[in-house]
Structure 1
Amino acid sequence: MKDHQGLYDFPLTPEQEKRALAIHERSIVIDLLFQGPLSPRVVPAEVSAQIKEECEALKDDPMAYSALPAKRLRQMSVSGELPAFKEEWYRSGITAGNREVDLSSPEAIITSMGEMQEQFDRFDWLVKALTADDIREAKRKGLKAGIVTSQDPGGLGKNLDLLEALHGFGLRVLQLTYNNQNAIASGCMELANGGVSNFGMAFISRMNELGIVVDTSHCGEQTTLDACRLSTQPVIASHTGVEAIYPHRRCKSDAELRAIAATGGVIGVFAMPWFVHGDPQATTIDHVLDHVDYIVRLVGVDHVGIGTDWPMSDVDWSLVYFKEHIAPKLGFDKGDGPSTELVAGLEQYGLFINFTRGLVARGYSDEEVSKIIGGNWLRIFERVWG
Structure 2
Amino acid sequence: MNESYEGLYPFDLTQEQEERARKIHEESIVIDMLFQGPLSPNAIPDSIADKLKEMCEEYADDPMTYSRMPSKLIMAMSKNGELPAFKEEWYQSGITAGNRQLSLSSQESIITSIADVQSQFDAFDWLTKAKTANDIRNAKANHLKAGIISAQETDGLGKNLAFLDSLYDFGLRMLQLTYNNQNQIGAGCAEQANGGVTNFGVQFIHKLNELGILVDTSHCGKQTTLDACSHSNHPVVASHTGVENLFNHMRCKSDDEIKAIAKTGGVIGVFAMPWFVHDDPNDTTLDHVLDHIDYIVDLVGIDHVGIGTDWPMSDVTWSLVYFKEHIAPKLGFKKGNGPSTETVKGLEKYGYFINFTRGLVKRGYTDQDIQKIIGGNWLRVFEEVCG
TM range, smaller chain: over 0.9
Residues in 1 aligned to 2:367 and 2:254: alpha-carbon distance in whole angstroms: 29
Corresponding residue for 1:191? 192
Corresponding residue for 1:211? 212
What is the CA deviation profile of residues 73-116 of structure 1, one whole-angstrom value per residue up to 9, with x for unaligned ones?
01111111111000000000000001000001000000000000
Displacement after TM superposition at 1:44 (Å): 1.1
Displacement after TM superposition at 1:37 (Å): 0.1
Corresponding residue for 1:175? 176
What is the CA deviation profile of residues 310-356 of structure 1, one whole-angstrom value per residue up to 9, with x for unaligned ones?
00000000000100000000000011111100100000000000000
Amino acid at match of 1:160: L
1:142 and 2:143 aligned: yes
Corresponding residue for 1:11? 12
Displacement after TM superposition at 1:35 (Å): 0.3
Residues in 2 aligned to 1:380 and 1:369: alpha-carbon distance in whole angstroms: 16
After superposition, where does 1:1-386 map in structure 2 within 5 Å?
5-386=6-387
Residues in 1 aligned to 2:385 and 2:371: alpha-carbon distance in whole angstroms: 20
> What TM-score do the two structures reach when normalised by structure 1?
0.99
Residues in 2 aligned to 1:247 and 1:167: alpha-carbon distance in whole angstroms: 35
Displacement after TM superposition at 1:5 (Å): 3.6
Q: Does the residue aligned with 1:173 lie in a helix, a strand or coil? A: strand
Residues in 2 aligned to 1:297 and 1:245: alpha-carbon distance in whole angstroms: 13
Displacement after TM superposition at 1:11 (Å): 2.4
Q: Does the residue aligned with 1:202 lie in a helix, a strand or coil? A: helix
Amino acid at match of 1:278: D
CA RMSD of aligned residues (A): 1.0
Q: Does the residue aligned with 1:334 lie in a helix, a strand or coil? A: coil
Residues in 2 aligned to 1:193 and 1:96: alpha-carbon distance in whole angstroms: 34
Displacement after TM superposition at 1:6 (Å): 1.3
Task: Verify the 8 A CA contact 2:185 2:204 in the aligned structure 1.
Answer: yes
Residues in 2 aligned to 1:282 and 1:134: alpha-carbon distance in whole angstroms: 38
Displacement after TM superposition at 1:218 (Å): 0.1
Structure 1, unmatched stretches of 5+, are none
Residues in 1 aligned to 2:295 and 2:108: alpha-carbon distance in whole angstroms: 41
Task: Verify the 8 A CA contact 2:6 2:352 in the aligned structure 1.
Answer: no
Amino acid at match of 1:74: M
Residues in 1 aligned to 2:165 and 2:245: alpha-carbon distance in whole angstroms: 37
Displacement after TM superposition at 1:57 (Å): 1.6
Q: Does the residue aligned with 2:148 lie in a helix, a strand or coil? A: strand
Structure 2, unmatched stretches of 5+, are none
Residues in 1 aligned to 2:361 and 2:287: alpha-carbon distance in whole angstroms: 12
Work out the number of aligned pairs and report it.
Answer: 384
What is the CA deviation profile of residues 216-238 of structure 1, one whole-angstrom value per residue up to 9, with x for unaligned ones?
00000000000000000000000
Residues in 1 aligned to 2:306 and 2:319: alpha-carbon distance in whole angstroms: 29
Residues in 1 aligned to 2:323 and 2:205: alpha-carbon distance in whole angstroms: 32
Q: Does the residue aligned with 1:146 lie in a helix, a strand or coil? A: strand
Displacement after TM superposition at 1:281 (Å): 0.4
> What TM-score do the two structures reach when normalised by structure 2?
0.98
Residues in 2 aligned to 1:79 and 1:103: alpha-carbon distance in whole angstroms: 26
What is the CA deviation profile of residues 223-261 of structure 1, one whole-angstrom value per residue up to 9, with x for unaligned ones?
000000000000000000000000000000000000000
Displacement after TM superposition at 1:288 (Å): 0.2
Task: Verify the 8 A CA contact 2:290 2:359 in the aligned structure 1.
Answer: yes
Q: Does the residue aligned with 1:189 lie in a helix, a strand or coil? A: coil
Residues in 2 aligned to 1:237 and 1:320: alpha-carbon distance in whole angstroms: 27
Task: Verify the 8 A CA contact 2:267 2:378 in the aligned structure 1.
Answer: yes
What is the CA deviation profile of residues 153-192 of structure 1, one whole-angstrom value per residue up to 9, with x for unaligned ones?
1100000000111000000000001000110111000110
Displaced runs of 4 or more, over 3 A: none
Task: Verify the 8 A CA contact 2:262 2:300 in the aligned structure 1.
Answer: yes
Residues in 1 aligned to 2:219 and 2:229: alpha-carbon distance in whole angstroms: 14
Q: Does the residue aligned with 1:98 lie in a helix, a strand or coil? A: strand
Q: Does the residue aligned with 2:237 lie in a helix, a strand or coil? A: strand
